[in-house]
Amino acid sequence: MHLPGRADVTSALGRLAYRRRSHRIQRLAGKASAANAIKLEPGIETGTPLADSEDAAALVEEAGERDHAATPFVADPQVAAFFDVDNTLIQGASIILLARGLAKHKFFNLSDLLGLAWTQAKFRISGEENKDDVEAGKAKALAFVEGRTVAELTELSEEVVDTSMLDRVWPGTRALVQMHLDAGQQVWLVTATPVMLARVIATRLGLSGALGTVAEEIDGVYTGRLKGDILHGPGKAHAIATLADAEGFDLTKCYAYSDSFNDMPMLTMVGNPVAINPDSKLRKYASENGWDVKDFRTVRKAAKKAMPGVLAVGGLAGAGAAVRASRSGSGSGSRGKGNS
């Protein structure tokens, strides 16, 4: 029998302390996100909705992996739908797309962008977040925005969404969103993405609001600190619970959509969890527990296991291309939009 050594015990205690600290910080992140929730007013200018609700239902039903038909949603003020963003609503990582926009405007250099892309690639391949990667990425991101104005980064977020994100929205997920909206239900984004970026996405898609990571700002200038922490895992659940209390949602009637097993706290707190384009762990859990599974990816099933790695390599290539393009364009005037 192998007895654990001092290093084993120290490592285990370190992981336990990190998890406890992480849950405590995520509670703070969830509260900060809910306190800074951005609810959009009805009638605000949005993108074009799907033309036909029957087309939306057909898209959703076609992607179902269980025998559940796309049942029309019923108007109920106690019902809301909560959508993750990355790979659930939008193909790829929104933070990478934002980073490419920041690089284009000289916020940071090639090595910074490639490092961020590699961290995202590791997460997509392994399905697990590394605490050191998370902390390092957070520190760099905050350093990039420190001293920048809210207006400046909001304008940049609008540019990134309009030029690089809207064409990456999964049509099937957009159809689900529209079905909830057509039923008069609120639809919220719940994401680790900065709330300023989430707000723009929500506005363009005509959603009810956004919960995201909140950066501290004073007099319209970012301080380089977060309110709470990056919103993910348990933090999303805390944010939703706080929002539900404020809006009068009955979580047993609500819906949550995600692609990642890391969003289990959010998925398990509602009465109607749905796995969209799920990773292997989430697909397995959803299948074993009778959850709806919707896969809107068009690749063949035989290639799906390799897809996260392929997308990751593509993201790295795109990251490098974005910085090289910004370098070649500097000092030579406008050369068009380029690839984004």
86 is catalytic: yes
Q: Which two tokens stand for residue 323?
A: 């910085």
Give the separation between CA 189 and CA 306, rounded to whole angstroms: 28
Q: Which two tokens stand for residue 312?
A: 């990751």
Question: DSSP 3-state assignment of 17?
Answer: helix
Give the separation between CA 305 and CA 122, rounded to whole angstroms: 14
Give the separation between CA 146 and CA 224, rounded to whole angstroms: 4
Give the separation between CA 71 and CA 338, rounded to whole angstroms: 42
Catalytic choice (52, 55, 86, 167): 86
250 is catalytic: no
Catalytic choice (52, 55, 84, 279): 84
Catalytic residues: 84, 86
